[in-house]
Amino acid sequence: MTFHHRHRHWALALLMTAMVALQGCEQKPAESTRASTSPATAQAAQPAYQPVTVEHKLGTTVVEKLPQRVVALDMNEVDFLDQLGVSVAGMPKDFVPHFLARYKDAPQVEDTGAIVQPNLERVHAAKPDLILITSLQAKHYKELSEIAPTIHFDVDYRDSQVKHIEVIKDHLITLGRIFGKEDLARQKSAELDAKVEEARRITQSSPEKALIVLHNNGAFSSFGVQSRYGFVFNALGVTPASPTVETGLHGQPVSSEFIQQANPGVIYIVDRTAVMERRPGLNAENLGNPLLRQTNAWKNGRVVFADSEAWYITAASPTSLKLVIDDVIKGYQN
């Protein structure tokens, strides 16, 4: 081989070596780009969760991380989560209102027992990282807190005359903060304000007085200002037909004569029997009570057979409150 040929082959080999080295350099930025968009790096770029501290009647609860599995032991709490688009990991399924019916048979939602008596073993098995309760489950607060951070919704089921709406809105916004949905929570809160104002405009422009009665297997109880339905009078502006009714959760037992003598212009009937025993509800056709039929409310078509599931099972959440307000307004429509 001549020197000329050897030189040409040597130059060709040198050129190929340089091309390989150049390709290696070009690949490095691509590898660097892939590394910068890896799941771990993308996750690290997410803003850190800001812990939320919640003070309630039973103590102080700190939520350290975004909850992924929430157990709600009261139907009001289930509705709050539903309104915020938050998944429910577990809930009691003994009495589920119609507006939450899709959760009852949902296989991914664990059945935690009864509303008033949750099954703690089932709650634990649901592996919650947040538990929401009300006064109905308050006696289990200590045990539940040992399972997961537990927040008590401070609604007063015995006397709702003071700040009932405000308590609902505050809880809604608190949950919004916990789940990173505060803007949505404030939007829902504003919708409640508008609904309450609509009711007040109607009730306060009418001279009619109203009576709220609970039906239970043929017997009646009445609810006044200082009762579970006190907010209907205080917040919604309804004038009570009988201000002397006792306070409490279950109302004051009253006779048909009491209702006749009170002679309300509007009557709201909440049918407990229909809810608890899953029977057909009372209506104008099957309520055979001659004394009640003598009231102005009956004569003028102002007896409202309320959405009993909204009034009796819940009445302290966004959806149920709107349904209650719709019923209240019906009593003043011609």
| For range 113-130, the mean pLDDT | 98
| 152: β partners | 133
pLDDT tens string 251-310:
899 999 999 999 999 999 999 999 999 888 888 888 878 999 999 999 999 999 999 999
Residue 29 half-sphere exposure toward CB, CA atoms < 13 A:
4
Sorted by where each starts, the structural domains of the chain and their CATH numbers stand as 52-191 (3.40.50.1980), 206-330 (3.40.50.1980)
Is residue 19 predicted with pLDDT exceeding 90? no
User: Which residue, 201, 180, 181, 178, is CA-closest to 189?
Assistant: 181
Q: Indicate whether 316 pLDDT > 60.
A: yes
- Of 73-82, 141-150, 153-162, 229-238, least confident by mean pLDDT is 153-162
pLDDT, position 95? 97
CA-based Rg of the chain, rounded to a whole angstrom?
31
Q: Enumerate the β-bridge partners of residue 209.
A: 239
Q: What was the pLDDT predicted at 161?
A: 84
The pLDDT score that the predictor gives to residue 42 is 46
Provide the residue type at 21 as one letter: A
CA distance 261 to 258: 5
Tell me the sheet residues that pair with 210: 240, 266
User: Structure pTM?
Assistant: 0.85
Residues 147-195 have pLDDT tens digits of: 999 999 999 988 888 899 999 999 999 999 999 999 999 999 999 999 9
Question: Using an 8 Å Cβ cutoff, are 242 and 221 in contact?
Answer: no
Whether the per-residue pLDDT at 49 is higher than 70: the answer is yes
Residue 200: pLDDT band with limits 50, 70, 90 = very high
pLDDT confidence band for 1 (50 / 70 / 90): very low
Sequence-distant (≥ 6) Cβ neighbours of residue 134 within 8 angstroms? 73, 74, 76, 77, 152, 153, 155, 157, 316
Q: 181-211 burial, b for 16+ CB within 10 Å, e for fewer?
A: bbeebeebbeebeebbeebbebbeeeebbbb
Q: Which residue has the higher pLDDT, 165 or 24?
A: 165
At 41, the pLDDT band (50, 70, 90 cuts) reads: very low
